[in-house]
Amino acid sequence: MSALLEVRGISKTFDGFKAINNLSFSIGAAELRAVIGPNGAGKTTFMDIVTGKTRPDEGEVLWAEGSKSLLRMNEAQIAREGIGRKFQRPTVFEDQTVAENLTMALKAERGPLAVLRWRPSPDSEARVAELAAEVGLSDHIERKAGELSHGQKQWLEIGMLLASDPRLLLVDEPAAGMTLAEREQTTTLLCRLAETRAVVVVEHDMDFVRRLNCRVTVLHQGSVLAEGSLDHVTRNPDVIEVYLGR
Amino acid sequence: MTRTPFVLRHPSVLVVLTVLAVFTAAVTAGSAAYGSGAIPVSMIKLLGKTLCLALAAVAMDLVWGYLGILSLGQMAFFGLGGYMIGQWLMYARTETIVAAQLAQQPIPATAQELQDAVTNQIFGVVGSSELPLVWSFAHSLTAQLILVLAVPGLLALVFGWLAFRSRVNGVYLSILTQAMTLALALWLFQNDSGFRGNNGLSGLQNIPGLDHVGQATLSVWFLWASALALALGYALAAWLVSGKFGSVVRAIRDDETRVRFLGYPVEGFKLAVFTIAAMMTAVAGALYYPQAGIINPAELMPIASIYLAVWVAIGGRGRLYGAVIGAVIVSLLSSWFTGGRAPSIHLPGYVVNWVDWWQVALGLTFVLVTLFAPKGIAGLFDRLSGILPPRRHGRDLGPDQGALQEKEATA
């Protein structure tokens, strides 16, 4: 299986601090992957580099068929290539309705002129209703997103990610601030999504990672310390030393 | 699928346009040229100018209230629009006068002699006898009308491209816009920049070819033109901020980074709105200065743009009618209070003279509005129609209480 995303030997230094140090990583087209590591291991910087927010000092980030380099693209172009990102805190547009939030995320041309010409169609309205139903917000479709509860905002954001139908989904600590039942739901959703696309989950919580039941990449000091099944990496003495041992 | 017509989805547009039409009709009925004559010509000019300022405020609201860029250089575009139309007004009028003088001579003047005489007449005041390059098109109304849109549009496009591309945001961007208008004003102040330095352009109230029409009639024509421009500008702005485009623009205001990660080219949207707003402001300026009669570089100083921001803040950001209300009320009050006709307040031992104290009162109002009514006058309309901001502040409680927020958890 050829890789959907391939990261080769990237490094990034912030004011002398090596946040990412010769990191390599690759993920297939339909794969679920958990990335774990202690604070400061470079998890967020890694996501920033893939999504174009940060430029690495060296290394390559190659994408999909034809191995396009992502390094020369800006965030918006990378997002249009099909890389979606879910932040830790729910970031929805609070001043706009659930429907408006979802409509903005729908797959469509993104240029100013195309957006100006865009008109809602029966298809787009049906798709918005369908997405709202999928994340349990059917009754709130005309409400402002700012009125939703924290959990509902999380779901709205997930709905927005589904709307744009990315090929690679980067999810930052999805289980933070969720109840047990909501975690179950999130796990199921992530596993289902990974059947058709690549999903990278950055997570602290070992129980949650265990439930995902997927390959795990352990980051430490900006590079990959171990990779494999959760049981495999938890037996690795290095991993125990830096992360689990404490 | 049939969609509800635009005006029905946005009834406020209909209300504003109706009020504007009624206002224009009422003023026309009171004018000396077309009605009873109850309203003096100077008042009609003041009202016409106020409509132009309202159009500039609508554009400011697009940029500030919707796109989230506090531009403190918006009046640079207003002034540029005025200068562009002023060039033709001044050139064409001087040409008619000079031609009439030269016709007295025994030998008819050549085209070159005529142009030299016009140049001398216009630029003698700054000690120059050559027609500056920037006046190359001044003889043509069509060319100058195109320049009214093209020059401010191009300036906004280049400035915006440079600023947005390097991701200058917030207060830094405000300072940059302010620097832009200040630099432009200082450049125009120079005699050799070709715009008559601090003399500016004058006599703009005389429209070439319309000498037989008196100021009484002209003032009403300009009132109509200003009202029409405001109506069209308002409708355009309302259309822009409705629908998905408006949705994306407001999203950029609230969380630019997130919009980028949705795949929207944020810079493109900012440039589009900034440039359109600049051109709207320029049209307003091109209609304002023929009513004012004179334009000089002081009009482009940052203080003018700051006033514009104050009007929009008092009227209510993020509501187009708020911008109109703010500009109309505050600018009319300003001219009343500073016109010396407002009665002074006699306190024991001190007389509050409004000419001196109006600035203080306006500044105080601005501070109070910012603190206690951030939605301005338009906030009153929101309250009447039951639109209230969601009050759901409070941190989430973390894993134990799950997705509940503090307010919900206690309830």
Structural domains in chain A, CATH included, are 1-82+166-246 (3.40.50.300), 92-164 (no CATH)
Å from A107 to nearest chain B CA?
10
Burial of B303 (0-12, 13-18, 19+ CB in 10 A): middle
Range among A62-66, B112-116, B303-307 rated most confident: B303-307
- Mutation pick from B239, B247, B406 vs chain A, by most beta carbons of A within 10 Å, is B247
Classify the C-alpha dihedral B251-B257-B260-B265 as positive or negative.
Answer: positive
Q: Which of B122, B113, B116 is nearest to B93 (CA)?
A: B122
CA distance A145 to A99: 9
Asked whether the beta carbons of residue A104 and residue B247 sit closer than 8 angstroms, the reply is yes
Burial of A107 (0-12, 13-18, 19+ CB in 10 A): middle
pLDDT by residue (tens digit) across A112-153? 999 999 988 999 999 999 999 988 889 999 998 888 887 788
Q: Would you state the structure tokens that stand for residue A31, as one six-digit string?
A: 């794969």
Helix axes B11-30, B41-61, angle to 10 degrees: 160
* ipTM of the prediction: 0.87
How many Cβ atoms are within 10 Å of A129's Cβ, its own excluded?
Answer: 14
Is the confidence at residue B228, as pLDDT, over 50? yes
CA distance A178 to A185: 10
pLDDT by residue (tens digit) across B271-313? 999 999 999 999 999 999 999 999 999 999 999 999 999 999 9
CA distance A235 to A243: 12
End-to-end, the C-alpha distance of chain B in Å comes to: 43
CA distance B161 to B155: 10
Q: Would you state the structure tokens that stand for residue B260, as one six-digit string?
A: 């980028």
Is the confidence at residue B354, as pLDDT, over 90? no
Q: Which of A85, A39, A51 is nearest to A204 (CA)?
A: A39
Q: Which of B369, B266, B388 is nearest to B309 (CA)?
A: B369
Residue B269: its chain A contacts at CB < 8 A? 112, 115
Asked whether the beta carbons of B241 and B320 are under 8 A apart, the reply is: yes
Asked whether the beta carbons of residue A152 and residue B402 sit closer than 8 angstroms, the reply is no
Residue B298 to residues B79, B190, B198, B234, B270, Cα–Cα distance (Å): 9, 12, 8, 28, 28
Predicted pLDDT at A27: 92
Residue B260: its chain A contacts at CB < 8 A? 74-76, 79
Asked whether the beta carbons of residue B254 and residue A80 sit closer than 8 angstroms, the reply is no
Asked whether the beta carbons of A92 and A156 are under 8 A apart, the reply is: yes
Asked whether the beta carbons of residue A150 and residue B396 sit closer than 8 angstroms, the reply is yes
Predicted pLDDT at B403: 52
Residue with tokens 């020369």: A72
Is the confidence at residue B142, as pLDDT, over 50? yes
pLDDT by residue (tens digit) across B2-36? 567 777 778 889 999 999 999 999 999 999 889 88
CA distance A69 to A35: 22
CA distance A25 to A63: 12
Asked whether the beta carbons of A41 and A242 are under 8 A apart, the reply is: no
Asked whether the beta carbons of residue B403 and residue A79 sit closer than 8 angstroms, the reply is no
Chain A residue with CA closest to B165: the answer is: A74
Q: Which of B290, B300, B236, B189 is nearest to B66 (CA)?
A: B236
- Can you give the C-alpha Rg of chain A in angstroms? 19
Predicted pLDDT at A238: 83
Residue B338 to residues B45, B52, B143, B344, Cα–Cα distance (Å): 17, 20, 38, 11
- Can you give the C-alpha Rg of chain B in angstroms? 24
- Model confidence at B356, pLDDT cuts 50, 70, 90, reads confident
DSSP 3-state of B222: helix
Dihedral angle of Cα A210, A216, A220, A226, to the nearest 10 degrees: 120
Asked whether the beta carbons of residue B392 and residue A147 sit closer than 8 angstroms, the reply is yes
Alpha helices in B137-197 (DSSP H): 141-165, 170-189
Alpha helices in chain A (DSSP H): 43-50, 75-81, 98-105, 112-117, 122-134, 150-164, 180-193, 206-212, 230-235, 237-239
Q: Which of B223, B215, B219 is nearest to B21 (CA)?
A: B223
DSSP 3-state of B131: coil
In sequence order, the β-bridge partners of residue A170 are A85, A200
pTM of the model as a whole: 0.90
CA distance B262 to B207: 51
Residue B397: its chain A contacts at CB < 8 A? 177
Residue B405 to residues A146, B17, B298, B393, B410, Cα–Cα distance (Å): 13, 43, 53, 8, 9
Task: Report the pLDDT averaged over residues A159-183.
Answer: 85
- Do β-strands A215-220 and A198-202 pair in parallel, antiparallel, or remain unpaired? unpaired
Element at A68 (helix H, strand E): strand A68-69
- Do β-strands A17-28 and A198-202 pair in parallel, antiparallel, or remain unpaired? unpaired
CA distance A197 to A51: 17
Is the confidence at residue A242, as pLDDT, over 80? no
In sequence order, the β-bridge partners of residue A11 are A58
